[in-house]
Amino acid sequence: MSQLRVRFAPSPTGYLHVGGARTALFNWLLAKNRGGTFILRIEDTDVERSTAESVDAILEGMKWLGLDWNEGPFYQSDSFPLYKEYVQKLVDAGKAYKCYCLADELEAKRNLAMQEGRKPKYDGTCREGAEGKEGQPYVIRFRAPQEGATSFDDLIKGKITFPNEELDDLIIQRTDGTPTYNFCVVIDDATMKITTVIRGDDHVNNTPRQIQLYEALGFPVPKFAHVPMILGSDKARLSKRHGATSVIAYRDMGYLPEALLNYLVRLGWSSGDDEIFSLEEMIEKFDISNVGRSASVFNTEKLNWLNAHYIKNGNPERIADLLLPHLSKRGVTTLGGPDLMKVVKTLQQRALTLEEMADRAVFYYTPPSTYDEAALAKFDKTQMLLVFDTAIAKLSEIKPADEAAVDAMMKEISAEKELKMGLVGQPIRIALSGSAQAPGLGEIIMALGIEETVTRIRKAREYVAAR
């Protein structure tokens, strides 16, 4: 059996969107699962719409997700001579011909067909020769079979058949000599020896035309797997209207690549009732035949749930690294402040995204300049001052070395001053972080260090005393 070869073939006309990323992921997983080869090909034949920025954005998205490729990136724009060569082969074999029909003639015929209720298609004017037109501008059309049908067994959708009479003679080379999209795809897939084409199901209609080209050129026809669309919550095709669709936007919103990959793999693919898949499990279990036939709806809540899972269970050192750009964005530098890994550990249990985590991490590096008034208002001023004074004295004396020691100290204050735990812990939490919604006191104090803790309680004491 020949080795599996698959490819992801984005057109560089925008960023890498989640639908494209899922197609890339399915290709990548299948290659990893079968020990095959994953090729990246940039389909930039549409010179007007393709941009270098878009290529960069696509590569950046792929790299961030960790979808590494074995061959490429190949650029279609580098292969124009190759396409020309194959166009010529078809012409020489009589399987393609010059067509001199003018755009407005074709337009008029198309309109007439529509008026008469016929399906518009090229009427074959130049099919059997166009004498006397030499020297005039022409396109090259593929001489498509007119009878019979073209079918394929889609690995996801099952058997799909198109009657050949519905497929007219495709233009394979434009008047300016450039090859057209469907033709380039076939030449590339054939010469790159792609064995399975996995792509979005918006390409189903291109497939019979491409198969006819493979056959005319004597190339083996690959297998096809057309992946259903991703829809927004209103069941319309996912677009910007529904929110972020770019992979890099998800990175910037604080999602972990493993969470997005896990989310995307489950969007259309399943393995039992499992929801959480490590990369290794995905690779081991992935099979294109378990991709569903119907479109999937993008669900941000589920993505958040997975992201929270991966943040919670992530290696704190790695999470700290990933958190850094989100802190810089907030003007926060960790230099001279608490160890970011310790800070991360205090926040990992509750954050949905790294953005949320960054918001909550700011106070560790920037002492609060204001305090949550509504939270402070719940406590009696004299009691608060007593708690602050006692805490400052005890912290300086005991210097608790771990969370348990902090907890014991708080219990001691509570017992000695006959105050409920909440009346001790909450004001201190507000003093340290500015708000009552902060991680556990032991965690905060251990991350801040005793000296900084005492400084902050002193500052809050002054503030409360002056209220």
CB of 14 to ligand GLU, least distance (A): 10
- Residue 72 CB, shortest distance to ligand GLU, in Å, is 13
Choice between 76 and 426, CB closer to ligand GLU: 76
Q: Interface with ligand GLU by CB under 6 A: which residues?
A: 9-11, 43, 185, 199, 203
Q: Other CB atoms closer than 10 Å to residue 311's CB: what's the count?
A: 26
**Which C-beta is closer to ligand GLU: that of 9 or that of 347?**
9
Q: Which amino acid is at 243?
A: G
Whether residue 224 contacts residue 154, with contact meaning beta carbons closer than 8 Å, is answered with yes
Judge whether 240 counts as a catalytic residue.
yes
Say how far residue 307 (Cα) sits from the centre of its chain: 13
Residue with Cβ nearer ligand GLU (120 or 200):
200
* Number of neighbouring beta carbons within 10 Å of residue 347: 24
Residues near 334 by Cβ (< 8 Å), separated by ≥ 6? 324, 327, 340, 365
Q: Which is nearer to ligand GLU, 13 or 455 (CB)?
A: 13
Closer to ligand GLU by Cβ: residue 203 or 302: 203
Which residues are CB-contacts of 22 (< 8 A; sequence separation ≥ 6)? Answer: 227, 230, 264, 265, 267, 268
Which residue in 384, 376, 381, 386 sits closest to 416, CA to CA?
386
- Asked if residues 213 and 142 have their Cβ atoms less than 8 Å apart, the reply is yes
Of residues 13 and 383, the one with the C-beta less far from ligand GLU? 13
For residue 61, which of 125, 17, 114, 108 has the smallest C-alpha distance? 17
Q: Which is nearer to ligand GLU, 196 or 433 (CB)?
A: 196
Q: Minimum Å distance from CB 187 to ligand GLU? A: 12
The single-letter DSSP state of residue 440 is -
From the CB of 9, what's the least distance to ligand GLU, in Å?
A: 4
Distance in Å, CB of 225 to ligand GLU, minimum: 11
Report yes or no: 256 and 311 within 8 Å, Cβ to Cβ. Answer: yes
Q: How far is the CB of 41 from ligand GLU (least distance, A)?
A: 8
Which residues touch 318 (CB under 8 Å, ≥6 apart)?
A: none
Q: On the CB side of 314, how many CA atoms lie within 13 Å of its CA?
A: 32
| 161 within 8 A of 151, measured Cβ to Cβ | yes
DSSP for 85-151, please give it. HHHHHHHHTTSEEEE---HHHHHHHHHHHHHTTPPP----TTTT--TT-TTS--EEEE----SSEEE
Beta carbon of residue 194, minimum distance to ligand GLU (angstroms, whole number): 9
10 vs 337, which CB is nearer to ligand GLU? 10
Residue nearest to ligand GLU (CB): 199
Rounded to whole angstroms, the Cα distance separating 13 from 47 reads 10
Rama region for 288: left / alpha / beta (φ>0; ψ in -120 to 50; rest): alpha
Distance of alpha carbon 348 from alpha carbon 311, whole angstroms: 6
Which position among 240, 381, 399, 417 bears the catalytic label?
240
User: Rounded to whole angstroms, how far apart are CA atoms 95 and 87?
Assistant: 9
Q: How far is the CB of 375 from ligand GLU (least distance, A)?
A: 52
Nearer to ligand GLU, 9 or 57 (CB): 9
- The H-or-E segment that residue 395 falls in is helix 381-398
Nearest distance from C-beta of residue 246 to ligand GLU, angstroms:
15
Distance CA 418, CA 423 (A): 10
Q: Would you name the residues annotated as active-site residues?
A: 240
